[in-house]
Chains A and B, each alone.
Chain A
C-alpha cells in the first residue's frame, strides 16, 4: 500500500470532447498514481471533469459522444490508451471495474438482477451457467442482499435504490478487479443509505485488497475513507496529497472553498 508500486500511473491525460461545432477540453493534462490496495479520492465541483477522467481510464464515452484522449494511462506497464479495443474489452470489468452514479438507471430493466451478474461472470471467468449463478448468489449475499438466491430472479424495479447500488457493486467486484472506480456512488441515495454503501465499499476493498478510486463532490465523504486525495477544478488537479494534509492545511484557495462547503456536525475546530 505505498506509492512505491503504483498499479496505475496516469501522465498528462487530456480528454477533448469533440462535437460538430467545437472541441471542449474537459480534462487538461492531469497526472496521478494509484497504488496497489490504495484508496484515492477525487473531489471537485460538478462539471470539473471527474466522470470524464474516470471513463477515460476505461476508454468509455457516452453513446454518440466522440472523445479524443491523449497522454498515457499506464496499467501494470501497458498503456491503456494505445491498447486495441479487443484487449481493452478483456480489461473492462475484469481488471478495472466501475460503479456508476445513478443506480436507478444503471440496471437493464428487462433483465433479471441475477442475469446481469451472470453475464459478466460468464464473459470473464469462463464459468458454466450454473457455476456463474452460484457465484452471482454469493456476490449478492456478500454485498448484503438478503435471501440472495431468490432475489436473483427479481427485476430491477423490485429493488430499492440502495439495493440497486449494492447490485451494481456486486457487478463491479464480480471478477475480482484490481482497481474499482466508484463515480459518486452515493450521490443519488439518501443519507442513511449513503453511509451503508460507503462502509460496504471500504469493507470490500479491505477483504479483497483492490485499489479504489473514489470520486465525489463531497469532502465529507472522502475524509474517513481514503489515504490520498486529488482536488480537481476545471479539468485540472489543483491539489494532491495525503487526506489529512489536504484537509487540515489546504494549500489552494479552491480547496479551502470546497472545505468550507462541507457541513460540520462536529466542532468547528478542524478548520484552520
Chain B
C-alpha cells in the first residue's frame, strides 16, 4: 500500500511537470503577447514595447523563461499578474475556492443521483429501468449550458423569489452560500450524473449475474447484506473509476456554468486572462486545475486498492 502511494505521488509530479510545460508553451504560441495585446490598436513605438517585454522577462529564450517560472513555482511563488500587478496566488485563491466548492457540490449531487438512479434501474428493472434510461438518454443529448440556461429561465420566470444571480461568500453566510450554489451545481451535475448512472446500472447488472451473488442468497443472508457486501462492493470499482474521470468534465463545465450564473470563480477569470495574455495567471490556473484532477484520480486509485485486494499487487 505505501509503495503504491509513493509510486502514485511520483507519477503525479511527473504529470504536473508535463502539463505545466505544455501549458507554458501553448499560451506563448498564441498570436500576440501580453505587451502587444495591452497596446491594443494604439500605435506604440517598438522600442517602448521592447522595454516593456524586457521588464517582464519576455525577451529571454522560452526555455529559460520556463525554468525561471518553474524554479519559483516550486517554492510556491507564482509571480505577479501582468494586469493587476498583484501576486497571482492572492488573486487566484479566493476564486479557486469558489470553483472548488461548486465542483464539489456538483460532484456530490452527480454521485448521489447517478448511483441512486443506476441502482434503481438495475434492481427494479421493468418500468423503473425504462424511465431511467429514457431520462438518461434525454439528458445526455442536451449540452449542459442548455440545461443551465433553462434552469435560469424557468426559475427566473416561475420562482422569482429565488435569487439566482446572488452569490454570497462562504464566510458571510455559509448556508446562503451553499444554497446559492445548488442550482448551478445541479445544472453542472446532470450530465455527469447520467454517465455515473449508466455505469452504475451496467456494473450492478454485471455483478448480479455472478455466481457469488446466488451463493450469498443460498446462505440465507438478509437482502440488505447481499446488496451492500456482495453487489455494491463489487460494483463500486467501476463506479468510483468513472466518477474520478468525470472530475475533469466537472471542472471544465464549471467555467461555462459560472459564466451563466455570474459566479465569481476561476472560469470567468481564466477567460479574461487568456484574452489579455496574462501568462502567470493562466499558467497558475492550468496547473491548479490539473493538480486537482490528478490528485482526485490518485485518491481513486487508492480507494480502488482499499475496495479490492487484487488491485494492491
A interface residues with partner B (beta carbon < 8 Å): 58, 60, 62-64, 89-94, 97-98, 100, 102, 105-112, 119-120, 123-124, 155, 157, 168, 171
Contacts and interface: CB of A to CB of B under 8 A. Distances in A.
B131 interface: no
Interface string B191-226: 000000000000000001111111111111110010
Given A60-B217, A93-B218, A112-B309, 10 more contacts: A60-B218, A62-B214, A63-B214, A100-B214, A105-B210, A109-B308, A110-B233, A110-B234, A119-B221, A120-B221
A97 B210 contact: no
A123 B218 contact: no
A89 B233 CA distance: 22
Contacts of B211: 100, 102, 105-106
Contacts of A63: 208-209, 213-214
Contacts of B220: 89-94, 120, 123-124
A105 B212 CA distance: 6
B309 A97 contact: no
A109 B58 CA distance: 57
Classify the interface of chain A: helix, strand, loop or mixed: loop
A119 B225 contact: yes
Given A60-B218, A109-B234, A123 B212 contact: no
A98 B307 contact: no
A107 B309 CA distance: 14
Contacts of B279: none
8 smallest CB-CB distances across A and B, nearest first, come from: A93-B220, A92-B220, A93-B219, A63-B208, A105-B211, A120-B219, A155-B309, A108-B212
Nearest to A108: B212
B310 interface: yes
A245 to B, nearest CB: 32
A108 B230 contact: yes
B229 A108 contact: yes
